[in-house]
Amino acid sequence: MLTITRRATFAAAHRLYRSDWNDARNEAVFGRCANPGGHGHNYVLEVTVGGDLDPETGMIADLKWVKEVMDRHVIDHVDHRNLNADVEILHGVIPTAENLARVFWHRLVGPISEQARLVRVRVQETENNSATYEEP
């Protein structure tokens, strides 16, 4: 199986909390990630795409096109934004790394399927934490 992976970055603010919980419960579950003013990360998004090798071009899909799909469907919506307040595609979603990976997968799987197959979406939050969504 042959895949290509494209990496992109975005900077965003987020806060982990539920408005239907009180502060004590939010802090018990989410710790300092529930601090009222929020915090933020330099996120890394890695998208892995599989498919047949086009014998004429030696490519599965043009990596520039993969980047454009990532920009149009994910990065342009989240970069330099507050993930809790400003991002329609995350409305009603607690912006954990897991949820970002899951939402971004569903944003990308359709557009990528026009030329290839989406295999994996990885969202790295810090040098120590990441979440990955893969096809079943």
Q: List active site positions.
A: 33, 80, 125
Asked if 77 interacts with a second copy (CB under 8 A), we say no
Told to check if 132 binds a second copy by CB under 8 A, we report yes
The helix-helix angle for 63-70 and 97-113 (nearest 10°) equals 130
**Contact between 28 and a second copy per CB under 8 A:** no
Closest alpha carbon to 97 in 130, 64, 120, 127: 130
Closest by Cα among 111, 23, 18 to 61: 111
Site for a second copy, rule CB under 8 A? 1-9, 11-14, 16, 18, 29-33, 35-42, 48, 53, 56-60, 62-64, 67, 79-82, 84-86, 93-99, 101-102, 126-136
